[in-house]
Structure formats: structure tokens, C-alpha cells
Amino acid sequence: MLIQPTSHIHPVLPPASINASNARDVLSELLRRPLSENNYRERLACMLADPTITSWQALTRDPEGLQRLQDNERKAWSAPATVDTSLPTLAQALAKKDVWLPEVENFNANILKSLTIQMAEKYLAQFQSILRDPVPVQAQDVSIVRGAPSAGKTTFLRGQFALNTDAVKNMLQDRMPGVGMMQVHDQAVALVQRFSATMEKHLAQPLTRDALYLWPNDFKQKITGLEQVSTGSKLRFHDIQVDLTTLCCRILKRGTDEAVMNFEVLSQFFRAGLEHRNQSIEAIKGTSGLLKEYSLSAWDGQRNVLVAQRSSDAQPLVVRDQALFDDITLRNKDAINAEIGRVRDTLIDAHFIDTFTAPLPAEQARGFRTALGLYRGLTIRQALEQHAQRKPVATSIAARVLAQIVPG
């Protein structure tokens, strides 16, 4: 079929004229234009003007079709019986070829190359074995670190190769300066899933994911995947519990290039961590000898303390602190609701800041005092709401450092 030239078609508005009030309308018009028209700059300008527009809504070839997939996924929460299980997930669809605009396909490919290079540094033996011997070398251990956002999972995984969706979001932000982390969330998830599926298949090496694992299906699926792919990997499972006040303050200390959220979302993660903990402990039983270590720790206001430990799935769980163990495994819904309600309405004032920072080392205390001082006079819920609405900083890494807008 002959495609007619489209040189006579012009964007509705130039990028400089797109703002929060007209971005959605401009994007709707752009999406009706022929795919042969190059309007990447205008679509990106719509995202920058309206932070509620996600990258897959603005920068893919068929956002309406993708919207139907997302709607279908969300039925799993509201009306599970109506879910069409024959449809792919949004992330699966976003990982396919020719879904994104060419400009985005290009930097998606570059991000996958970057992940491959990072992985090669940790799994050099596996890469070499592909050239020398079709039989993979013995796989390395895999970690599950379970905990709410800002619980300390990334710190625990330091030194390991771990696929971190937030790190991929940062790579996308560097390529589209000024977009927010939530705007590229689904795109980053798709890239991580695409990368892990390919690498695990070809290297017979399960990969560690820096993820939440708060819901039963999440950690059970990871364990099942380990059993299916592993040629000798062992599982290290670490579970971290942090009180809600500390989680909130850590989020308030984060910069604009880190994941932030409002109080309602964070408290849902906190609740899930407590309500499903016993299921996570049960999940490690009978893992066919895969378990190398299970540990459960809790934040005591100054540091993480070991609460319980199991050296393998054949050994009993050893409780190191019975009172703490009971508190974080037996807390009922009323107690969880009480903590959420108390933290939600806590006023950030001089007394709160002094009390929270008193047990911390001097350098950490200074960082928290600065961050919390910005929200003096607000409740924790109000502070998180304001914090989540900050616009991303579209600057270089060096400029972020000079402006002290760096990860906490």
C-alpha cells in the first residue's frame, strides 16, 4: 500500500506551548496522526508537562491496545473472575518488538546492553563457558530480600548483581530528562523482565531481583523459578521489618531521582509485609534442599538486629529474640491499623525531629534533620503527599550533586 507523504501535517502545538492544562488533549491529537510522522519530541513534551502521563501512554504505537491489557490486569484485584487469562500482561506486551517509537526502541536496547555489561562483571565464568563448553558452570547463589520500600533491601544486596527496577528507571530518566520515576515504571519493569527471562534461559542462572516480595505469589514464584532453572544455585532469603515511622522518614529523605510515594501506598506495603510474613516463612519449608540461609531482622531505631535464622530448610528455625519475633509475626490487624493511624497523623515538629534523630549517628541524623525540616508543621501523611508531587530535576548528575539533590 502506498503511504501518502505527510509533510503537510504539523503538530497541534510546538513543544514550548504544551503545558499541564493542554497536554492530554495534544497527546490525543498526536496519537491520531500517521505512524510515519515523527512527533517524538511533541509526545515527550506532553509527558514533561503532565506527570500523570506514562511513557507507554505517550511513546508507544498502540496505547489504546495496551490500555486494555492494563485494565484487564487490574481486574485481578476488583473482579478476578472477569480477568481474561489469554491476554498478556502489560509488561509482557511492552517487552515485544515494534511496540515503542523508534527513538525509544533505541535507548531501550542500549539499557539492555548496559545491564548485560554489569551482569558480565559478576558472572564472567558463565559467559566464558558459553564459548568454551555448552554445559554451564555451576550457578551462583540467588537472594530474595523481602521488605517494604526503603527497608534496606538494596543495602543488603550491595556487592551482588541484582536487577533493580529503580536503577533502570534512572537510566530511562537520564535519556528523557525531566520525567518522573512513576512515568517510566511500567517501561522499566518490562525491560527488567525481558532481560532476566533471556539471561536465565541461556545461562541457566537464576538472577537476584531487588524487589519487594511482600505478597505470597511474588516469593513463591521466585522459589519455583529457582527450582526450574537452577543447576546448583542456593537460595538466601532475608526478611526485613522496619517500623512505619522510619519507612516514612526514609522516603522523605529521598531525592527526585528515587522512588517516592504517598502515605496510602507506603502503608499498604507496610501492612503486606506484616500480614504475609508467616506465609513467607512457610514458603521456605520443603524447598528441596535449595535453601542455604533464611534470616529475619528488624530495625530497633539504630540498626537492624537479627530476630530469627535458619541455616537450611532441613534445620529448625532458631529465634534469637522471642519478643521481637512475636511482634512481627503475630501482630493482628487491629494493631497494624493502630500503627498506621498513629503515624498518619503524627506532626512533624521540633520534638518529633529531635526524637527520631537522637539514636542515629551524627551524619545520618543531620541528613534526616534537613529532610524532615522541609515539612515542619505538616503531618507525615501531608508531608509524603507534598514530597511525591515534586517535579523531577532535569539536570546532569554533577548538577544534582552541586544542588544536593542526590539519593539519600
pLDDT surpasses 60 at 406: no
Per residue in 341-367, pLDDT (tens digit) is 999 999 999 999 999 999 999 999 999
Mean pLDDT over residues 380-401, rounded?
A: 76
Q: What is the pLDDT of residues 281-323, one digit of tens each?
A: 999 887 778 899 999 999 999 999 999 999 988 889 999 999 9
Q: What is the pLDDT, as a whole number, of residue 122? A: 80
pLDDT of residue 150: 95
Q: Which of 83-92, 124-133, 372-381 has the lowest mean pLDDT?
A: 124-133
Which of 236, 234, 208 is closest to 290 using CA atoms?
234
d(C-alpha 370, C-alpha 353), whole Å = 10
Short-list 15, 63, 67, 5, CA closest to 39 = 15
Segment 337-344 mean pLDDT: 98
Q: What is the mean pLDDT of residues 254-268?
A: 91
pLDDT digits (tens, 9 = 90+) for 319-335: 999 999 999 999 999 99
What are the DSSP E strand ranges found in 76-194? 142-146, 162-164
* 211-254 pLDDT tens trace: 999 999 899 989 988 888 766 788 999 999 999 999 999 999 99
Quick one: pLDDT band at residue 136, thresholds 50, 70, 90?
low
pLDDT above 70 as % of the chain: 89
Kindly state the DSSP code that residue 315 receives in the 8-state scheme: S
Locus of grid cell 510546538: 14
The pLDDT-based confidence of 133 (bands split at 50, 70, 90) is low
The predicted model gives 123-135 an average pLDDT of: 68
pLDDT higher than threshold 60 for residue 3: no
Is the pLDDT reported for residue 407 higher than 60?
Answer: no
Give 137's pLDDT tier (boundaries 50, 70, 90).
low
Q: Looking at residue 7, what DSSP letter applies?
A: T
Q: What is the 3-state secondary structure (H, E, C) of 208-236?
A: EEECCCCCHHHHHHHHHHHHHHCCCCCEE
More confident residue, 273 or 390: 273
Alpha helices in 79-138 (DSSP H): 90-94, 102-122, 124-132
Residue 1 — very low, low, confident or very high, per pLDDT cuts 50/70/90?
Answer: very low
In whole angstroms, give the CA distance from residue 251 to residue 263: 10
Strand order in the sheet with 291-299: 142-146, 235-241, 291-299, 304-310, 318-319
* Share of residues in the chain with pLDDT > 90 (%): 69
pLDDT at 165: 94
CA torsion, ordered 373, 379, 385, 390, to nearest 10 deg:
-10
pLDDT at 47 over 60: yes
DSSP strands (E only) in 10-147: 142-146
Least confident of 12-16, 83-87, 96-100, 193-197: 12-16
- Cell triple for residue 320? 534469637
At 399, the pLDDT band (50, 70, 90 cuts) reads very low
